Amino acid sequence: MTVTETKKGVRTLRIDEHTVHRVDRLETPGNSEGMEQYIISTLKTFELGVELLVDGARASTHAPIPLTLTLVYESGKPVEQVGDIPLLTGTDGRGMLSAGRVGFQLKVTALSSLRQQQRFRIRVAAPDAPDILSVYSEPFRTLSKLFRSPPAPKRDAAAAGLDAAEGQTCMALMALLQADVDAMKGEIATLKSQVAMLAPE
C-alpha cells in the first residue's frame, strides 16, 4: 500500500491589495449586471501589496526574498518599452519581501489607447526562489484623465433653435430686462441712503 504524503512548506505569493481609480461595468451577453473593468490613471499612484504564504497562511519569519515587478499585457506578454520613461515608476522594478509582506506605491505610464486598447497586469516574481511561482494582478486599463468635462452649452440663437427674427426679439427683451434691473438697483441705493439719514445718531 502506497501512502501519499502531503508536501509541506509550499510557498506562494498572493496580491492582497490592489487599488484602482475607477471601476466601470461592461455589459456582457447573459450578464445583466455587467462585468467590472478596473481603470487606473497614468497621472496618479496606486497601491500594490504582496504577501508570502506558506501552506496557505501568511509567513511571519523568513529570509528576505527579492521580488521583481513587470508590466505585462493581459495575456502575460511583457509590454514593450517605448522611449526612456519607465513603464512602472515608484520602483526600479524590484522590491524586498520581508516579514511576510511588502507594499508598493506605483504609477503606470503606458496608455491602453496607444496599445490597441489592451489591458495590463503587473507580474510579481521571485527570481531567486524557483519554488515560488509568479503572481499576476487583476487586469486593468489605463487612462490619462479619468473624467472629462462636458463641453459648455452654446447660447447663441442658432443653438437654441431660433431664427434670426426671434433671436433679435430675445436680445431686445434681455436688454429691457437688464435696464429694469439697473433701475431697481438705483432705487435700492436711494432707499438705503434715506434709511441711513433717518437712523438715530
Q: What are phi and psi of 188, to 5 degrees?
A: -65, -40
For residue 94, the cross-strand partners are 68
Between the alpha carbon of residue 201 and those of residues 95, 164, 189, the distances in Å are 77, 58, 20
Per the rule left: phi > 0, alpha: psi between -120 and 50, beta: everything else, 124 is beta
User: What pLDDT was estimated at residue 82?
Assistant: 85
Query: Among all chains, which residue has been given the C-alpha cell 433717518?
Result: 198
Alpha carbons within 13 angstroms on the beta-carbon side of residue 175 total 6
Q: What is residue 189's three-state secondary structure?
A: helix
pLDDT the model gives residue 92: 83
Q: Is the Cβ–Cβ distance between 22 and 124 less than 8 Å?
A: no
Q: Cα 196–199–201 angle (5° rounding)?
A: 110
Angle in degrees, CA 98, 77, 79, rounded to 5? 85
Q: Which residues of the chain have pLDDT under 70?
A: 1-7, 28, 30-33, 147-173, 175-201
Question: Residue 100 has what pLDDT?
Answer: 93
Strands 46-54, 120-125: pairing kind: unpaired
- CATH number 2.60.40.10 is the correct assignment for the domain at 11-143: yes
Query: Which pLDDT score is estimated for 9?
Result: 85
Residue 15 has φ and ψ, to the nearest 5°, of -85, 115
Look at residue 93 in the predicted model and tell me its pLDDT: 84
Instruction: List Cβ neighbours of 130 (8 Å cut-off, separation of 6 or more).
Output: none
pTM: 0.67
Instruction: Report the sign of the C-alpha dihedral through residues 126, 132, 133, 135, in that order.
Output: negative
Q: Is 64 left (phi over 0), alpha (psi -120 to 50) or beta?
A: beta
- Taking the C-alpha atoms of residue 53 and residue 9, their distance in angstroms, rounded to an integer, is 9
**Residue 1: its pLDDT value, please?**
43
